[in-house]
């Protein structure tokens, strides 16, 4: 089997997870790493025994032997880098969110189709064991008709610095950073319905920056379910960790993180089921990212459309954009 050759773009925190995951997959070689600062690229390359390191993405676009790239840069560069790589015949994995706004998502889609290349988006909770346990219960009808979900993307007593708090580089704040996890997790659990309406209240409460750190979003899906999403940095309390979701059905309730089921038994009683799932080393466990990379590599080999891909990434961009508009106008936005 031919070796799949991958380039890493960006050497921030998340790039370590991608590198570790890729290095567990047979017939995969990380051929080079790109960073804005050559010393950062060199340090990362040495850490993972990567032979080449550069500051110029043309070293990747001009290399016809490279099959795919992993983009883990500030959000501002997601679309322009992705489009350049797609035009040069590379498949692309993009960290979330796919772009700064819906328009950039459409541009990425057009470039992928024009050049017959693949795009995967890093909504990694779709690869989590606990998440899929809850999804299977929903799909089996165990909870009955789902009428509401509540999801969280909040940092308690902590918030990021640097480009995350710069609107020109990130496009948004806690909603674009953390809320997207909660949004995509809820949508995945519900079977990927389409959003029809978004209402949001978004503000900045904790920092001296030009992005949001507090948000409450209400999404109406085309299957009639309503999803409440809370996003934030620096909050004094969070009701659950990243991607934690409560699912309310006519026959019962499911909790993701902590993961359990409460099924109705008669009028006043319920049965609590705590599944025996693998113990997590960390909440954002390495295995989730490894499974992401395995899926991306398999899609490159088989020329199969990745999921989550452009469609899933675009829906999240549309919801986030609608939420910002809704908060600014003080009214619900129809999609």
The CB density around residue 226, as the number of other CB atoms within 10 Å, is 15
pLDDT band at 68 (very low <50, low <70, confident <90, very high): very high
> Does pLDDT of 254 surpass 90?
yes
| 119, burial (CB in 10 Å: exposed 0-12, middle 13-18, buried 19+) | buried
> Does pLDDT of 181 surpass 90?
yes
The predicted pLDDT at position 87 comes to 98
> Does pLDDT of 266 surpass 90?
no
pLDDT band at 270 (very low <50, low <70, confident <90, very high): confident
Fold classification of 128-277+317-334 (topology level): Dihydrodipicolinate Reductase; domain 2 (3.30.360)
Domain 4-124+286-307 has CATH 1.20.950.20: no
Mean pLDDT for 51-66 is 98
CA angle in degrees (0–180, nearest 5) for 242-161-257? 5
Instruction: Show Cβ contacts of residue 141 under 8 Å, excluding neighbours closer than 6 positions.
Output: 251
The predicted pLDDT at position 1 comes to 62
Share of the chain above pLDDT 70, in %: 100
Mean pLDDT for 280-304 is 97
State yes or no: cis peptide before 263, omega within 30 of 0. Answer: no
Instruction: Show Cβ contacts of residue 76 under 8 Å, excluding neighbours closer than 6 positions.
Output: 100, 163, 168, 169, 170, 171
Chain-wide mean pLDDT for the chain? 97
> Does pLDDT of 6 surpass 90?
yes
pTM of the complete model: 0.97
Q: Where are the domains positioned within the chain?
A: 4-124+286-307, 128-277+317-334
pLDDT in tens, 122-172: 999 999 999 999 999 999 999 999 999 999 999 999 999 999 999 999 999
pLDDT band at 321 (very low <50, low <70, confident <90, very high): very high
Alpha-carbon 13 to chain mean position: 15
Which residue has tokens 């999609």?
335
> Does pLDDT of 199 surpass 70?
yes
From residue 41, alpha-carbon distances to 31, 38, 60, 84, 95 in Å are 13, 5, 14, 20, 18
Distance, CA of 41 to CA of 32 (rounded, Å) = 9
The predicted pLDDT at position 295 comes to 98
């Amino acid at each position: 089997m031919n070796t799949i050759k991958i380039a890493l773009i960006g050497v921030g925190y998340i790039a370590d997870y991608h590198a570790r995951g890729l290095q567990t997959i047979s017939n995969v070689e990380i051929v080079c790493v790109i960073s804005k600062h050559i010393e950062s690229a060199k340090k990362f390359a040495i850490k993972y025994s990567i032979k080449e390191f550069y500051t110029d993405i043309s070293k990747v676009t001009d290399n016809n032997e490279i099959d795919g790239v992993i983009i883990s840069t500030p959000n501002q560069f997601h679309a322009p880098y992705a489009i350049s790589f797609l035009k040069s015949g590379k498949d692309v994995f993009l960290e979330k969110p796919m772009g700064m706004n819906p328009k950039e998502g459409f541009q990425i889609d057009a470039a992928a189709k024009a050049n017959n290349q693949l795009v995967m988006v890093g909504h990694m909770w779709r690869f989590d064991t606990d998440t899929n346990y809850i999804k299977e219960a929903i799909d089996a009808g165990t909870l009955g008709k789902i009428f509401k979900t509540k999801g969280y993307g909040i940092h308690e007593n902590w918030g990021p610095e640097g480009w995350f708090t710069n609107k020109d580089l990130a496009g948004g704040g806690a909603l674009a950073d953390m809320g997207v996890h909660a949004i995509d997790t809820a949508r995945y659990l519900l079977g990927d319905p389409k959003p029809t309406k978004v209402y949001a209240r978004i503000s900045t409460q904790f920092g001296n920056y030009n992005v949001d750190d507090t948000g409450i979003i209400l999404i109406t899906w085309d299957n009639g379910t309503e999803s409440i999403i809370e996003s934030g940095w620096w909050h004094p309390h969070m009701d659950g960790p990243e991607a934690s979701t409560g699912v309310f059905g006519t026959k019962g309730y499911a909790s993701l993180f902590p993961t359990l089921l409460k099924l109705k038994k008669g009028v006043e009683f319920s049965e609590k089921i705590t599944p025996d799932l693998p113990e997590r080393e960390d909440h954002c466990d390495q295995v989730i990212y490894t499974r992401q990379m395995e899926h991306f590599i398999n899609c490159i080999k088989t020329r199969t459309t990745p999921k989550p891909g452009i469609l899933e990434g675009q829906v999240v961009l549309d919801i986030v954009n609608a939420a910002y508009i809704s908060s600014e106008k003080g009214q619900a936005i129809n999609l």
